[in-house]
Amino acid sequence: MSHFEPNDYIRFDLLEKNINIVRKRLNRPLTLSEKIVYGHLDDPANQEIERGKTYLRLRPDRVAVPSTIHCDHLIEAQLGGEKDLRRAKDINQEVYNFLATAGAKYGVGFWRPGSGIIHQIILENYAYPGVLLIGTDSHTPNGGGLGGICIGVGGADAVDVMAGIPWELKCPKVIGVKLTGSLSGWTSPKDVILKVAGILTVKGGTGAIVEYHGPGIDSISCTGMATICNMGAEIGATTSVFPYNHRMKKYLNKTGRADIAILADEFKDHLVPDPGCHYDQLIEINLSELKPHINGPFTPDLAHPVAEVGTVAEKEGWPVDIRVGLIGSCTNSSYEDMGRSAAVAKQALAHGLKCKSQFTITPGSEQIRATIERDGYAQILRDVGGIVLANACGPCIGQWDRKDIKKGEKNTIVTSYNRNFTGRNDANPETHAFVTSPEIVTALAIAGTLKFNPETDFLTGKDGKKFKLEAPDVDELPRAEFDPGQDTYQHPPKDSSGQRVDVSPTSQRLQLLEPFDKWDGKDLEDLQILIKVKGKCTTDHISAAGPWLKFRGHLDNISNNLLIGAINIENGKANSVRNAVTQEFGPVPDTARYYKKNGIRWVVIGDENYGEGSSREHAALEPRHLGGRAIITKSFARIHETNLKKQGLLPLTFADPADYNKIHPVDKLTIQGLKDFAPGKPLKCIIKHPNGTQETILLNHTFNETQIEWFRAGSALNRMKELQQ
């Protein structure tokens, strides 16, 4: 049963009106992305529109009113679904109670623990063709599989929208991906995005919406399209989207939203791209020629055909024996995903085989869990050696109490997840994680090695006879209706006047935020360099997940993980930086706290695509809380750059990327030009070397006038409060 209430906020008529206004102004064919984005402009008649340059003021359909709270990150995978959920409810009771009472107080629905992963719940209940939806997780683009523009943001952006303030987004470019041919055999929707990631890399989609089109899309299920859009976050894309088609209509009907499908049919011309529309970049993929892929390790854009990865692994010295296969996550936990995996497992069982590797299964939602239990998929996956975990993020976000290896032990895991950064799943920097489709994970877990190619290789059954796995061919949706399982949704009360939100002043899990200090009106003089980061620095490196997630509601406690995963260029080590005062090396958070206590303001120097990965707002809150003033890099990931601005920090980029090499960890930096801070005007940076010499470089920024006001006020929240007075 869907919790969607369409009469409250579906406005295809307004979308149509705004599209017509913009179409008349631009006088050209529009892409689907443009139709949905421009169709939600606050002022379509006067908004300046230039792809990649102007900032748009938008009115999203969701997170405004209505909004919902989701809590999928706090269930640690340990023993199995029921036991892990029970344990999570016990140890996280204080946090869950806070979320429930806060939602009740302020009229926000709450999906209780065990409901499932936010993105699967949104697909089942809230996403629809033409929607503009924002969510505080980087994989919000999952909803693009149902034809919506769904964008991941930081919490401060969500606050703006919930408060009724137009949301700003730099007008995105549009990358077209034309799909021809059709999927078949072992090739799955996951292989499309694994291939695209290999083409565009982790930053190739930055500042753009990826728009899939062409005749090949009709061979992909709605949930398969969601998989592709979900992992688009790994190429830095603002979001990804598919045009409305009969596969989406089928999914809407099956999830109790036939009325929306009828409306979508009526307005279909606005839910597909115009013929002759222009893309800033065009990629073509023939699905009939696409082979199964597996990407990794340590980065989601290192693409290999499954047929070749074993050979590459041996050449590179990566472990070929697979310790654990893990399926599920927000990327691949649909009914179809579980069915294809079960079809592979069933063949192994018929020949007397079980998984050689450990094997875990994470259902995407309570509805998926209940339905795969009813239809027998869950039992087949257990019979082959799997453990069905709770309906939550689990190991994908690092919530995994892994016992089979010791930290520092070199090993390989294969997952159907979206990210495989160093230490992300199990906090072990020597775990080589590869991402692929659920059915390939299952086949590889049965074989136990990266050298197995299910398209060509044979397994040996219990009877000694060789056999080959057949490609899975299953229903994309259950033949009967979905089983909703337990009702885990808390509606906000009609009268919230008696509701209280309690936070204990002695809590180690929850802490009320205090306003950050305002800019003092002066240039930033003699900033100490906390760390000069070498190479990849994701939000996992800046604010680690896993066991740290329990402190998400307590800024001071979670700040003890600040940049502990980043590699210091001075010594090649993680979480070891020089204290400029004592000259001793110590942990990054301790050094930052020392500087803050002694009134020393500091800066971080970063490399390319700094802050890629999760939308984790703590990666911006923590440096601000511990006294940081600026982050200077070669380039930023979109969400993290915005998050830094929202918290009153200066995300700046080298006008000449080679200037990264001019700065040494022992230098001090002065940033000048803040009194005349203006859009498009670079700031000056004076590098002061210990020997008394100086160099001057230029730093670029992407601040607009509104964002400069955030900096001056100390944060976006501070500025919001100023405007209310």
Q: For residue range 643-655, what is the model confidence (pLDDT) as tens digits?
A: 999 999 999 999 9
Element spanning 480, H or E: none
- Flag whether 588 is in a domain: yes
Give mean pLDDT, residues 512-528: 96
Percent of the chain with pLDDT over 90: 84
257/359 same-domain check: no
Contact 596, 627 (CB under 8 A): yes
Give the start-end residues of each E strand in 461-515: 466-467, 489-490
Q: What is the pLDDT of residue 6?
A: 43
- Flag whether 467 is in a domain: no
Contact 197, 300 (CB under 8 A): yes
Q: Which of 430, 458, 486 is the last residue before a domain boundary?
A: 458
Q: How far apart are CA 261 and CA 256, in angstroms?
A: 10
Give mean pLDDT, residues 679-698: 97
Beta sheet of 303-305, edge-to-edge order: 303-305, 293-295, 431-435, 411-415, 322-327, 358-361, 386-388
390/419 same-domain check: yes
- Flag whether 334 is in a domain: yes
Contact 273, 175 (CB under 8 A): no
348/440 same-domain check: yes
Q: Which of 286, 313, 336 is the last residue before a domain boundary?
A: 286
- The active-site residue, picked from 84, 137, 160, 426, is 137
Q: What is the pLDDT of residue 3?
A: 58
- The active-site residue, picked from 61, 72, 540, 667, is 72
Inform me whether the pLDDT recorded for 295 exceeds 70.
yes
439/545 same-domain check: no
- Flag whether 108 is in a domain: no
Question: 262 has which bridge partners?
Answer: none
Inform me whether the pLDDT recorded for 11 exceeds 90.
no
Q: Which of 240, 266, 286 is the last residue before a domain boundary?
A: 286
Q: What is the pLDDT of residue 382?
A: 97
Render pLDDT for 483-509 as a digit per residue (tens, 0 to 9): 999 999 999 888 888 888 888 889 999
319/404 same-domain check: yes
Specify whether 73 is catalytic: yes
- What residues contact residue 209 under an 8 Å CB cut-off, 6+ apart? 33, 37, 149, 172, 173, 174, 175, 237, 238, 239, 240, 241
Inform me whether the pLDDT recorded for 384 exceeds 80.
yes
Element spanning 30, H or E: none
Contact 387, 80 (CB under 8 A): yes
Percent of the chain with pLDDT over 70: 98
Domain tally for the chain? 3
262/234 same-domain check: yes
What does DSSP assign to residue 655?
A: S
- For residue 518, what are its two tokens? 């305002």
With 0-12 / 13-18 / 19 or more C-beta atoms within 10 angstroms meaning exposed / middle / buried, residue 456 is exposed
What's the pLDDT band for 84 if we cut at 50, 70, 90?
Answer: confident
Specify whether 42 is catalytic: no
Name the CA radius of gyration of the chain, rounded: 25
DSSP codes joined into one string, 223-281: HHHHHHHHGGGGGTBSEEE----HHHHHHHHHTT-HHHHHHHHHTGGGGSPPTT---SE
Q: What is the pLDDT of residue 65?
A: 55
Q: How far apart are CA 516 and CA 708, in angstroms?
A: 15
Instruction: Assign residue 552 the CATH number of its domain.
Output: 3.20.19.10
- For residue 103, what are its two tokens? 């939602």
Give mean pLDDT, residues 429-438: 97
What's the pLDDT band for 251 if we cut at 50, 70, 90?
Answer: very high
Q: How far apart are CA 205 and CA 138, in angstroms?
A: 14
- Flag whether 85 is in a domain: no
- Flag whether 513 is in a domain: no
Residue type for position 66: P
Instruction: Using alpha carbons, list the distances in angstroms from residue 552 to 270, 400, 558, 718.
Output: 40, 17, 6, 21
The 3 state secondary structure assigned to 436-452 is CCHHHHHHHHHHCECCC
- The active-site residue, picked from 59, 70, 73, 578, is 73
- For residue 672, what are its two tokens? 């000048």
- The active-site residue, picked from 70, 402, 593, 616, is 616
Q: How far apart are CA 206 and CA 170, in angstroms?
A: 11
Specify whether 72 is catalytic: yes
Q: What is the pLDDT of residue 289?
A: 97
Instruction: Assign residue 191 the CATH number of its domain.
Output: 3.40.1060.10
120/264 same-domain check: yes
303/265 same-domain check: no
What's the pLDDT band for 1 if we cut at 50, 70, 90?
Answer: very low
Average predicted confidence (pLDDT) for the chain:
94
Specify whether 13 is catalytic: no
Of the candidates 45, 71, 16, 135, the residue with the CA atom closest to the CA atom of residue 488:
71
163/218 same-domain check: yes
- Flag whether 394 is in a domain: yes
Residue type for position 257: R
Give the start-end residues of each E strand in 485-580: 489-490, 524-532, 577-578
Contact 398, 549 (CB under 8 A): yes
Render pLDDT for 596-631 as a digit per residue (tens, 0 to 9): 999 999 999 999 999 998 878 999 999 999 999 999
0.85 exceeded by the pTM? yes
Q: How far apart are CA 456 and CA 445, in angstroms?
A: 16
Residue linked to tokens 């994989």: 139
Alpha helices of 504-661 — where are they, by DSSP H?
Answer: 539-542, 555-558, 588-597, 618-625, 638-646
669/596 same-domain check: yes
299/280 same-domain check: no
Q: How far apart are CA 6 and CA 37, in angstroms?
A: 20
Inform me whether the pLDDT recorded for 398 exceeds 90.
no
What's the pLDDT band for 181 if we cut at 50, 70, 90?
Answer: very high
Question: 135 has which bridge partners?
Answer: 152
Domain that holds residue 671: 524-723
Instruction: Assign residue 395 the CATH number of its domain.
Output: 3.30.499.10
Of 153-167, 209-223, 301-315, the least confident: 153-167
- Flag whether 621 is in a domain: yes
236/384 same-domain check: no
Across 407-429, b (16+ Cβ under 10 Å) vs e yields eeeebbbbbbbbbbbbbbbbbbe
- The active-site residue, picked from 70, 119, 419, 541, is 419
Specify whether 614 is catalytic: yes
Specify whether 419 is catalytic: yes
Render pLDDT for 531-586 as a digit per residue (tens, 0 to 9): 999 999 999 999 998 889 899 999 999 999 999 999 999 999 999 999 999 999 99
Question: 604 has which bridge partners?
Answer: 531, 631
Q: What is the pLDDT of residue 77?
A: 79
What's the pLDDT band for 87 if we cut at 50, 70, 90?
Answer: confident
- The active-site residue, picked from 221, 614, 615, 635, is 614
Contact 577, 665 (CB under 8 A): yes
DSSP codes joined into one string, 48-89: ---TTTSEEEE--SBSSSS-EEE--S---BSS-HHHHHHHHH
Give mean pLDDT, residues 633-643: 94
- For residue 254, what are its two tokens? 């099956």
Element spanning 633, H or E: strand 628-633
Render pLDDT for 255-281 as a digit per residue (tens, 0 to 9): 999 999 999 999 999 999 999 999 999
